[in-house]
Structure 1
Amino acid sequence: MPQKSDISNSDILFPYSNIRDGQKEFLNDVNTAVNEGKILLAHAPTGIGKTAASLGGMLNYGLKNNKVIFFLTPKHTQHEIVIETLKKIKEKYALKFIAVDIIGKQWMCMYPDTEDISSNEFNEFCKAKKEHEECEFYKNAHPKKNESNIADGIKNKLKNSIMHSEEVKELCSRHNICPYEIIIECAKDANVIICDYFHIFSKTVRDTFLTRIGKELNDSIIIIDESHNLPERLMSLLSHSISEFSIDRAGKEAENVGKIYLQEAVLNLKKILVLFGKELDNNNEIFMEKDKFVAAVEKHIRKIDGPANCLKITGKFLGSWNMSEPGFARILKKEIRKDATGRYRDYFSLYCNCLDPSISTSEIFNACHSAVLMSGTLIPLEMYKDILGIPDKRAMLKEYKSPFPKENKLVMVVEGLTTKYEMRSEEMFKKYAENINEILKHVDGNIAIFFPSYKILNKISFFMKEIQDKSDKNFTFAKPILLEQQDMTKEDRMELYKKLI
């Protein structure tokens, strides 16, 4: 049960009047970790109040000791609760501090349709616009001395109030100013920065980002939300692949930009891939020796790079393949697909897959002042400590109890239902719809239903409505069905979520 938050530790800034069971222990552990320069791995169940406890336990230390707090989340939608928590702390304790919310530059760009292109294409587009002084939004964010300086007014507003990145984007759009540049300028003075995992854990992004905002890792306190996602996200970031399809696209791009030598290099790369593919025989995949492929590439190919997307991806793959670090699996794979004539044939791909996320994380956890990794599913804690390369002498491993009574959680398994591919049928979807409708009849509150794909969602929701329309006239379903659609924008999804809660 929630209790009065009679917290005697003056270092703690807790935003609420009541504190939940388990939350006080978590709050004190966070405060201990930041004061002792430790890294806390916290398995903290849903509902314990992780955001308030982590910020409440660390913020005062950061402000007093000139440390910047990076609050990292895997999704943009999770930034809002961090912002609201910081606002409550600021109001309750009448504090002065600067907090900024940063998302990727591409998602803040004022040019239309930039969200629909690849990140490589966007980076080239943005770079060219700035270098040729063609981006009015960038120029308006950095006006010359004799020009109207609306940008400074927006920066002052952002420094004095905590704003979501979407709010900043909307404000900047009124004056044709680049919101990303405004936020980056404010981040130079920020005490708290809310951003994505990649801002800290991608070396190329981190080096540029920290240099621009003038921050150092050893003066950083890092809070990682939903940190059970971190290993997979980083292994994906560090993994690269090429296929016959991507090589063909790279060849087309080389032709389009008039680079004959690149066309020849790409053609030779495909020949090498197909030649090695013949070694698969009856196997679908085999481990590939690094040096064997490197020798073939060095013999027949010069450097592959260029302004286009697939050329960059191909060049990046070749660079990653040649890395000396352990922790990568190099795999040659065969798939049978139809070609342009409709005939089936073998297609080959090469993968350089990262199996060790500590390649990216160990440097961070050795350098930062302190960190909290928190999740409702961060178990076994010892495993996460090891695979993320967290030093034993710095690690604090803590598991907290759920604040909710066990009897409040009912777990049921319905036999005879499956979304296994070979078992999918109209009849199976109807059975799902019947069972869900039966649950709707007996649950008073709102219900969230999660499906493995939009196709299955649409099938089952269709049969749910069909059954409801044919149901007994004496019984009516009081709950409207709110459907998430695949083409919804982030704003559409947030509106749907607000209707549910």
Structure 2
Amino acid sequence: MAPRPASAHVAPEKGTIFSYETMSEGQSEFCNDAMLAARDGKILLANAPTGIGKTAAALSILGESMPAGRKVIFLTIRDTHHLQAIREIKRINERCKDGLGKMGIGKVKAIDKTGKGKMCFLKSTGRSQTIDCEELNLPCKHKRPKDLDTSGRLLSEPTGAEEAIELGKRGGYCAHFAALDAVKDADVVVCDYSYIFDESVRARFLEYLGVGLDRCDLIIDEAHNLAEKMMEFKSYELDPDVMKESALSLSALRRVAPAGEIVDSIDYVTSYLKGLLYPQIKSMMRQNDGEQAELTLAEAKRLIPDHKRLLCELRYVIDHMEYLSRNWATERIPPISTDALRVLLGALISIERKAIQRDDAIGLCFQRRLGRHFRLRATLFDPAPDASRILGQVHSAILMSGTLPRKELLAKQLGLDESRLIGLDRESYPSPFDPELQPVLICADASSKLKDRWKDAGAFRSVIRETASAVHPNGMAVYYPSYEFMEQLRDEKEFPEFEHFVERSGDTQEQRAALKASVEDCAEKGIPFMLHSVMRGSYSEGIDFRGNPFKAIIVAGFPMNKFNAEQKAYGRYLERKLGRAVARHISVTMPAMIRTNQAIGRGIRNESDRCACILVEPRFLDCAADLQPHLRENVARVPSSILRELVSDFIRNSRLRVSE
């Protein structure tokens, strides 16, 4: 088969707000659909492969949103994507001056609002926990300035979060509140998912925004993560730290509270913690063997016998604490954190929904851990009620991802209104990449199932060995389903000719940046290297390595979710709601293949890049249909015995055709 010709680029249509002189075929189609969604108030599901330029294409809706007076809210969970959105808006201001001028708009005003923990200078001291800390009158010298035009300063040019923080430090004001103040006058707000999809944050954010959701057009980046993130926002975990902090907050309030009803409420909640919840948890710890176990309805009921009074008293205590904190100067009472008590309240509400209301959308699991540690987890299984309500209110939304080949399943998960959906009839926008530059080789010689891992470890190592022999003196990456499996397979002594870089759990942002720079430096200098990383870790998603450093990527095992009690309960819930086949795809196949698509996507970021992808697991044979469409054009099953020959041929000729 002849090599695919380079993808054609065309000039944007006249009047299109776009950050580059030309756009690819896929970008052009994406732009047209995005502007249709913004114009007609639709929800676009966009599977936009790596390299298509999703961010630039999605921001073309500014040509529809700004003249109509609507705000664009760009939601992303990755710091690098925050920066990318701000960079694209800067390019729009540079390139589209005439087009913006004809709309009566001087420039696009944009602000980047990351989480408060990253922007608040006081957060690191542990004294500022909530979005409304200004109301607490905390003794912070970086308070919101009353006499400085920080909004004008921040919006004079599209401003990233790091820039805003530096400006705040130099100006002696709070970068967190300055950015919040600026959102009201911004055309585009780049922020985390939580600002729209976490109800504890959304209401206050919309107050700062100054408009309702119906005056917003959403761009949701990495939308394959949305359902899971929404479930996390409504999930709560009780552990010894939460219990201890809850007791300390109650004790602190008890010491300063005036006599009356509040003291009775504090004593009631304290008595519940010490006299009922602690003993019940100790009993559960004695019965638990260390494996996560689902709570029975009887066990859940024993945790919350007088649920109506308990929830009422706990809410009253939290409200009183927050009142005292807001008025601490006049009340002469230091602020008391309600963070742990709010987690406790959320968990108890979930327990009440499960035990009393028999809500199957709640999962309750318990696990005894080392020593006296435990984890009681309340998990929301169904994001659809919240997602459908929020997305039903916005004027329009674009849900985009580079790994969204089964869009209809995401629509089911989120309970989206089918009458508003567009894009379901298109599996994917055209990829600019030549499949022969990214052949996918499926090696079914080894299984990562728990029962097979030890006996098949040698087969996995053989695949790594054969691939490394072909790749040398270039670089490669091996992605594992878990840290445990990585430690089982990784053997740096077997490959002394390679530099080895290993992802560690808990790596800091600085350590991740240093590792990335080292990988790129080795590639630039021609030093052979091997990156060992985990699926869904810091180096398998949302990161672009400069200079096409990987000539081969191995996915060493099927990266499905850990099959624990919570995962089993989630699968049963989905089966009751959507049927067995759809439930298995959503809970097992789709997450695994999204992680796979994301990992092998690190190999090719530009049209001239090349990287062989080796998937090691028999289950990939049944899931090849969930690879991105352009990858399915060049995929084949191969025995490990010919891997060295195939990969060597690929590196020598810069391309490889394996499918018929």
- Shorter-chain TM-score range: 0.7 to 0.9
Per the alignment, residue 59 of structure 2 pairs with 55
Among candidates 376, 391, 400, match of residue 365 of structure 1:
391
Per the alignment, residue 288 of structure 1 pairs with 297
Per the alignment, residue 136 of structure 1 pairs with 141
| Whole-Å separation in 2 of the counterparts to 1:221 and 1:113 | 34
Secondary structure of 2:185's aligned partner: coil
Q: Which residues of structure 2 form unaligned runs of 5+?
A: 1-5, 101-106, 256-265, 319-336, 521-544, 547-660
Query: What is the CA distance between 1:487 and its match in structure 2?
Result: 5.2
After the TM superposition, which residues 247-266 of structure 1 pair with which residues of structure 2 at under 5 Å, given as runs? 247=243, 250-251=246-247, 254-255=250-251, 261=267, 262-266=269-273
Does structure 1 conserve the Cα–Cα contact (< 8 Å) formed by 2:246 and 2:341?
yes
**Residue 129 (structure 2) pairs with residue 123 (structure 1):** yes
Give the letter aligned to residue 84 of structure 1: R
| Whole-Å separation in 1 of the counterparts to 2:272 and 2:295 | 25
Per the alignment, residue 47 of structure 2 pairs with 43
Residues 267 and 112 (structure 1), Cα distance of their counterparts in 2 relative to 1, 3 Å cut: closer
Per the alignment, residue 242 of structure 1 pairs with 238
Which segment drifts farther, 484-493 or 41-50? 484-493
Per the alignment, residue 21 of structure 2 pairs with 17
Secondary structure of 2:208's aligned partner: helix
**Residue 277 (structure 2) pairs with residue 270 (structure 1):** yes
Per the alignment, residue 644 of structure 2 pairs with none
Query: What is the CA distance between 1:444 and its match in structure 2?
Result: 7.1
Does structure 2 conserve the Cα–Cα contact (< 8 Å) formed by 1:417 and 1:431?
yes
After the TM superposition, which residues 422-433 of structure 1 pair with which residues of structure 2 at under 5 Å, given as runs? 432=461
| Whole-Å separation in 1 of the counterparts to 2:59 and 2:384 | 25
**Residue 344 (structure 2) pairs with residue 314 (structure 1):** yes
After the TM superposition, which residues 24-103 of structure 1 pair with which residues of structure 2 at under 5 Å, given as runs? 24-56=28-60, 58-94=61-97, 95=100, 96-103=107-114
Among candidates 405, 410, 428, match of residue 434 of structure 2:
405
| Whole-Å separation in 2 of the counterparts to 1:336 and 1:131 | 37
Give the letter aligned to residue 13 of structure 1: I
Residues 258 and 437 (structure 1), Cα distance of their counterparts in 2 relative to 1, 3 Å cut: farther
Query: What is the CA distance between 1:223 and its match in structure 2?
Result: 0.6
| Whole-Å separation in 2 of the counterparts to 1:49 and 1:131 | 43
Residues 30 and 48 (structure 1), Cα distance of their counterparts in 2 relative to 1, 3 Å cut: same
Give the letter aligned to residue 303 of structure 1: E
Per the alignment, residue 205 of structure 2 pairs with 209
Does structure 1 conserve the Cα–Cα contact (< 8 Å) formed by 2:24 and 2:52?
yes
Residues 137 and 298 (structure 1), Cα distance of their counterparts in 2 relative to 1, 3 Å cut: same
Secondary structure of 2:479's aligned partner: coil
| Whole-Å separation in 1 of the counterparts to 2:415 and 2:252 | 44
Residues 62 and 440 (structure 1), Cα distance of their counterparts in 2 relative to 1, 3 Å cut: farther
| Whole-Å separation in 1 of the counterparts to 2:200 and 2:123 | 26
Query: What is the CA distance between 1:222 and its match in structure 2?
Result: 0.3
Query: What is the CA distance between 1:123 and its match in structure 2?
Result: 1.5
Residues 458 and 214 (structure 1), Cα distance of their counterparts in 2 relative to 1, 3 Å cut: same
TM-score, length-scaled by structure 2: 0.62
Query: What is the CA distance between 1:497 and its match in structure 2?
Result: 3.3
> RMSD across aligned C-alpha pairs, in angstroms?
3.9
Among candidates 489, 498, 501, match of residue 508 of structure 2:
489
| Whole-Å separation in 2 of the counterparts to 1:123 and 1:112 | 7
| Whole-Å separation in 2 of the counterparts to 1:459 and 1:174 | 49
RCO higher in 1 or 2 (8 Å CA, sep ≥ 6)?
1
Among candidates 139, 163, 167, match of residue 163 of structure 2:
167
| Whole-Å separation in 1 of the counterparts to 2:152 and 2:64 | 25
Residues 441 and 155 (structure 1), Cα distance of their counterparts in 2 relative to 1, 3 Å cut: farther
Query: What is the CA distance between 1:275 and its match in structure 2?
Result: 9.8
**Residue 407 (structure 2) pairs with residue 381 (structure 1):** yes
Per the alignment, residue 530 of structure 2 pairs with none
Query: What is the CA distance between 1:175 and its match in structure 2?
Result: 2.8
Secondary structure of 1:177's aligned partner: coil
| Whole-Å separation in 2 of the counterparts to 1:106 and 1:281 | 35
Q: How many residue pairs end up in the alignment? A: 467
| Whole-Å separation in 2 of the counterparts to 1:325 and 1:41 | 34
| Whole-Å separation in 1 of the counterparts to 2:251 and 2:192 | 36
Residues 234 and 127 (structure 1), Cα distance of their counterparts in 2 relative to 1, 3 Å cut: closer
Residues 129 and 189 (structure 1), Cα distance of their counterparts in 2 relative to 1, 3 Å cut: closer
Give the letter aligned to residue 404 of structure 1: F
